[in-house]
Structure 1
């Protein structure tokens, strides 16, 4: 295993810190309470004791960033690659992967997964959660199948919302700005003897990118409205009940990308817009048997509804039964015939040529006529999830967290599944922490999972932490993780039924397009093996937190083929390797100043070039937060990477705010300026803005 010379930068930073005046002495100062994180192992642990790398984005940082959605906020996480696919649709990858298909991270809201198993995706722009309701985000940077099951292959993003008990009163906020920015938020919180509740309503709207590579207007605006209800109840001195409900409706413009297969046909459609509705609810029962033993039971239900109907035109020959038969026999040969319908037939078997001759005759006998019809590409997904977790301190030095989870997923789509498809998954997990003495912590965990469509798997993790002091720790971690092939990848039954054909094709008004795709049905799980060396420390005198990481990750059995209905053949034939280093530093220079720096060097190799396009060799962020007094504050952030899909990205964000107070009422007025320092597209060639800067203003009232 080799990390390369660039990977030594975090070690040089650590050496410099320890040799700084006052820093070495501070290693042995421990007079403050230790902070706690939860996402890594499901046990509350100090950052120095975590078996892996963690990034915590707190409420102060979230507000100061001015981020309007979660992907923009995740630019503050080292190694996180933020890109945009076709149109205004963000993708988030840790270390890298295919630019259009971010499907190797687990994303949770208060422990409820929002990863859509049917179509292998996270709808980042459609997550039904307002930024104003987020208390903190904990990001575990590395595989964590052990704690969160398959799909936590490369990282876990756990979004934790504000407690209703901390949300009493009224909060109103509006944001207006260039590029059609039009956001609003309203919440009301109240409490009673034994309970608290918060109701939030919010909306977001913008125009997205301005133009494509040819200077044409880009159809990619987005609009959504959200509702969130959160409540907590005290049932007894040792029991509580928490429940949540959320709903979202919105629409996303989508650029029209269909290109007719046959010559002389003009595309008549102008959009493939999508209307979305989401619903989610969860209920959690917490029981504390005693200070050393607790248990919770959580159940949740979610429904995603995506309505997408668009109009397309092609030749009537697209619906030929003979061409359909030829496609099933040999897709490559059928595509050659279709795209060169007036040319001499290519060489093929006697059966292929006989069908091709019939197809050419049909072209001459009316098959060349242009027909147009409606395509329904709508999808619906439903999930039910039940989880039980037990946390037990067996002794002063031994803690165990264990649990079980059952999940049911169902996907409905006439286009993708020719109806519906469902899956059920059982999971057992456990993690044991043993403090051998005041310095050494040994940790081990495992997850066993069995899914009806993809089979079973067992993944382990072992870690050794050496605590120099309770605030400074070295770690060595080995873990394995898996990602199950999703319904779309493994079991797709993809065909387009076109309705309302004008004029009809072969005497039919409703017919199926000749291209049909079937999933292999026997895909195996992707498997990752990860090695990590790291350091986490907090220098109390300087109020400085540091985390350093060296990593070497290997993924085998990788499913990398693009998800498209054109000779789509999914397989486990690909692999990838990611090695490098990461560093993050959070320094409160004074009561008024906070400095935050992140850096990641990623050396990515993949057998499929698409899986290394969203891996920047060098990326990072720098932030300076300042309280100027008299209600004035500012935040300046720099984000940069050297190449995401071959395009450089550099941006400066400046937020200036003034807070006015009258008794229990406060008003914050803020201005936000984003300035691109480069003049390149964002991730892909079609994602372009007219101007390199965008300005917005917000007003927030609390009483």
Structure 2
């Protein structure tokens, strides 16, 4: 997968910042004269997104389902991690399964490693293509340093490439010029403690910097009785960001980040004792270490043309599942251009290249056919926003063309139409073809996580049967044809309504097909007694998903803001013509709730006191099964005259504990999220 980050279409500001607004990628900018951008900073953060079109565009004018978690939302949230900030966003599914492990996706196919969701931090892809997913516990950016989070529900493939077929989450941190001085944030509670310290300064009129450090200790999840399932999760991160703007046409950013953590997880491991077939419960000592560096140069050569060059390097070392360890090294280079040709055509185009080296060492039940591998990608994209009727009707056409060394050429086109008949109403629709390229696990896996005991309902034979997942070296890409439509309404009096609906047709989904049985004294599983059953990975599955999302927000009173979000999700998996049963997918759709509802309230009581709450209901998951649950987060904050904030926070207050997610192929017992109470101190000076 090649990720290309084009230049954001903004004039680069002067060295003085008194009359500036903040570009999330390039920093403080002189306020443009264009009426579209002539808004306050608060309105700009609330209304604009750069993730849909690789340029600044108001959310109400985007032909996509977009949701922005603003800086104010982040500051008032009861969340302590980035995945928890995403709870309640329409179309987004969030569940904890293990210590440190979150399952996060958009519109279905949820998994601890959701394989069709692209996550970025300031343009750096966090997608680990070896296993197809994101390790959320490695994203330890201090929440107070986040400017906003942009969530694009639906395919972003025509600009962002493969593996963004279900959506894009773009986490944008603050420009270093906006974080001068010291920022301190400490939070301690019944289940976790965390703290972060950031310091920003100015080396010259053109050069600003920020350094940060953060630590976290978390007791993790509990069992059905409320007892800890492992020793605490503990980790920390540190990093720096430098922003240089030598003149009004050029800007550069350099970022370095390092994170490290360790934790315990209980696992159900297949018992290798031939006299006692079944499972042994072990406590796996898991750990990770990650390092990344990013450099980006942006230049605006004229009022109608700008470009950016970005380079990044990521290195991840991680051990899980009883000493299955992998080393993942990525180098990526992207060149993007934005050209406003005339009043009708506004064009983005670019090129990208990526090289990935990975190596895995595992125990007897976790192996790849080739322990080390190198993959590479080349890509190009072009997208044209065509103004058919100025400020009323716009057509967007674009495509991403990629080549990789394991599936070949991938073409991902899109067509979007936007119509604004009156200033208070916006209508849009789109059709997109997207692909998800197979992970190394799907191409080269030799995994054995389960056993079917002898003389049981699933195994009538007198010997145990050990299913073995076998990857397919010729596995092709998964294809998606997505149809979307939406509407936005300005209801007056600060109230707005955002609606979106979708229909997705997936083809060539990864499924497992029972293959040959073999005696286990042969590779790939070294057991001298029993039968192995090959589960061959094949790209022959199909599925259809559909649903709708709604977000209603406004103010009941000037001091009382509310937001009501709702998501509906449904799916159909056709019957495999060979077996007569539904396709057995590695990432089943049964892991997604049919209904999600969240109600958020923000109440200001005077100038110094506020109360914020979020009430969420998530319907049951057929996978597990996981019962429905309702959760309440509550935060009461007192703002001291010196700028400090004291908060009392309760998370998941309605139940002592509840389960949120479980996954059949991940060999772990059921674990529960516990109620927590914490206190927080924030201070900036």
Q: TM-score, normalised by structure 2?
A: 0.81
The residue number in structure 1 matching 2:571 is 604
* Pairwise CA distance, 1:309: 8.4
* Pairwise CA distance, 1:471: 5.3
Rounded to whole Å, the distance in 1 between the matches of 2:652 and 2:215 is: 25
* Pairwise CA distance, 1:458: 0.6
Secondary structure of residue in 2 paired with 1:559? strand
Q: Are 2:684 and 1:695 equivalent residues in the alignment?
A: no
Rounded to whole Å, the distance in 2 between the matches of 1:219 and 1:605 is: 38
* Pairwise CA distance, 1:108: 0.6
* Pairwise CA distance, 1:46: 2.1
Answer with 485-494 or 190-199: which moved more.
Answer: 485-494
The residue number in structure 2 matching 1:649 is 629
* Pairwise CA distance, 1:263: 2.4
Secondary structure of residue in 2 paired with 1:122? coil
Q: Does the 8 Å contact 1:409/1:424 carry over to 2?
A: yes
Q: Are 2:303 and 1:291 equivalent residues in the alignment?
A: yes
- CA, structure 1 residues 436+597, in 2 after alignment: closer, same or farther (shift >3 Å)? same
The residue number in structure 2 matching 1:430 is 382
Q: TM-score, normalised by structure 1?
A: 0.79
Secondary structure of residue in 2 paired with 1:630? coil
Secondary structure of residue in 2 paired with 1:235? coil
Secondary structure of residue in 2 paired with 1:596? strand
The residue number in structure 2 matching 1:97 is 109
Q: Are 2:604 and 1:627 equivalent residues in the alignment?
A: yes
- CA, structure 1 residues 542+558, in 2 after alignment: closer, same or farther (shift >3 Å)? same
Aligned equivalent of 1:576, options 543, 553, 564: 543
Q: Does the 8 Å contact 1:471/1:538 carry over to 2?
A: yes
The residue number in structure 2 matching 1:354 is none
The residue number in structure 2 matching 1:368 is none
The residue number in structure 2 matching 1:240 is 251
Q: Are 2:252 and 1:300 equivalent residues in the alignment?
A: no
Rounded to whole Å, the distance in 2 between the matches of 1:64 and 1:555 is: 38
Query: For 1:590-645, what per-residue CA distance to the aligned partner results, in whole angstroms no more than 9, with x for missing partners?
Result: 44222111101111223447522222111121101112123111101111111133
- CA, structure 1 residues 386+401, in 2 after alignment: closer, same or farther (shift >3 Å)? same
Aligned equivalent of 1:225, options 236, 255, 270: 236
Aligned equivalent of 1:550, options 463, 483, 501: 501
Q: Are 2:493 and 1:526 equivalent residues in the alignment?
A: no
* Pairwise CA distance, 1:238: 0.4
- CA, structure 1 residues 516+59, in 2 after alignment: closer, same or farther (shift >3 Å)? same
The residue number in structure 1 matching 2:594 is 617
Aligned equivalent of 1:593, options 552, 560, 569: 560
Q: Are 2:352 and 1:405 equivalent residues in the alignment?
A: yes
Aligned equivalent of 2:661, options 664, 676, 683: 683
The residue number in structure 1 matching 2:53 is 41
Q: Does the 8 Å contact 2:110/2:592 carry over to 1?
A: no
Rounded to whole Å, the distance in 2 between the matches of 1:216 and 1:195 is: 51
Rounded to whole Å, the distance in 2 between the matches of 1:429 and 1:492 is: 32
Higher relative contact order (CA 8 A, sep 6+): 1
The residue number in structure 1 matching 2:613 is 636
Rounded to whole Å, the distance in 1 between the matches of 2:280 and 2:475 is: 38
Secondary structure of residue in 2 paired with 1:256? strand
Rounded to whole Å, the distance in 2 between the matches of 1:419 and 1:683 is: 30
Q: Does the 8 Å contact 1:220/1:255 carry over to 2?
A: no
The residue number in structure 2 matching 1:276 is 288
- CA, structure 1 residues 543+269, in 2 after alignment: closer, same or farther (shift >3 Å)? closer
Higher Cα Rg, which structure:
1
- CA, structure 1 residues 193+100, in 2 after alignment: closer, same or farther (shift >3 Å)? closer
The residue number in structure 2 matching 1:319 is none
The residue number in structure 1 matching 2:197 is 186
Rounded to whole Å, the distance in 1 between the matches of 2:234 and 2:228 is: 18
- CA, structure 1 residues 471+201, in 2 after alignment: closer, same or farther (shift >3 Å)? farther
Residue correspondence of structure 1 range 91-240 to structure 2 within 5 A: 91-179=103-191, 181-191=192-202, 192-211=204-223, 213=224, 217-219=228-230, 221-240=232-251
Q: Are 2:648 and 1:671 equivalent residues in the alignment?
A: yes
* Pairwise CA distance, 1:414: 2.7
Aligned equivalent of 2:373, options 401, 407, 421: 421
Q: Does the 8 Å contact 2:340/2:346 carry over to 1?
A: yes
Q: Are 2:471 and 1:489 equivalent residues in the alignment?
A: no
Rounded to whole Å, the distance in 1 between the matches of 2:355 and 2:133 is: 17
Residue correspondence of structure 1 range 241-256 to structure 2 within 5 A: 241-256=252-267
Aligned equivalent of 2:415, options 455, 459, 462: 462
Answer with 143-152 or 247-256: which moved more.
Answer: 247-256
Answer with 297-306 or 60-69: which moved more.
Answer: 60-69
Q: Does the 8 Å contact 1:87/1:687 carry over to 2?
A: no
The residue number in structure 2 matching 1:258 is 269
Q: Does the 8 Å contact 2:112/2:133 carry over to 1?
A: no
Rounded to whole Å, the distance in 2 between the matches of 1:492 and 1:454 is: 17
Rounded to whole Å, the distance in 1 between the matches of 2:158 and 2:219 is: 41
Query: For 1:371-416, what per-residue CA distance to the aligned partner results, in whole angstroms no more than 9, with x for missing partners?
Result: xxxxx42111011111111001011232000111111111111333
- CA, structure 1 residues 493+391, in 2 after alignment: closer, same or farther (shift >3 Å)? same
Answer with 155-164 or 101-110: which moved more.
Answer: 101-110
Q: Does the 8 Å contact 1:588/1:594 carry over to 2?
A: yes
Rounded to whole Å, the distance in 2 between the matches of 1:660 and 1:430 is: 51
Residue correspondence of structure 1 range 54-65 to structure 2 within 5 A: 54-65=66-77
Query: For 1:326-370, what per-residue CA distance to the aligned partner results, in whole angstroms no more than 9, with x for missing partners?
Result: xxxxxxxxxxxxxxxxxxxxxxxxxxxxxxxxxxxxxxxxxxxxx
Secondary structure of residue in 1 paired with 2:128? coil
The residue number in structure 2 matching 1:25 is none
- CA, structure 1 residues 686+413, in 2 after alignment: closer, same or farther (shift >3 Å)? closer
Rounded to whole Å, the distance in 2 between the matches of 1:690 and 1:426 is: 42
Stretches of structure 2 lacking an aligned partner (at least 5 in a row)? 1-34, 450-465, 514-523, 526-532, 574-582, 663-667
* Pairwise CA distance, 1:121: 1.8
Q: Does the 8 Å contact 1:86/1:686 carry over to 2?
A: no
* Pairwise CA distance, 1:103: 1.1
Q: Does the 8 Å contact 1:394/1:400 carry over to 2?
A: yes
Q: Are 2:431 and 1:478 equivalent residues in the alignment?
A: yes
Rounded to whole Å, the distance in 1 between the matches of 2:61 and 2:201 is: 37
Secondary structure of residue in 1 paired with 2:53? coil
Query: For 1:476-501, what per-residue CA distance to the aligned partner results, in whole angstroms no more than 9, with x for missing partners?
Result: 111111000012211336699xxxxx
Aligned equivalent of 2:342, options 395, 406, 412: 395
Rounded to whole Å, the distance in 2 between the matches of 1:651 and 1:612 is: 23
Secondary structure of residue in 1 paired with 2:475? coil
Rounded to whole Å, the distance in 2 between the matches of 1:669 and 1:31 is: 35
Secondary structure of residue in 2 paired with 1:218? coil
Stretches of structure 1 lacking an aligned partner (at least 5 in a row)? 1-28, 311-375, 497-513
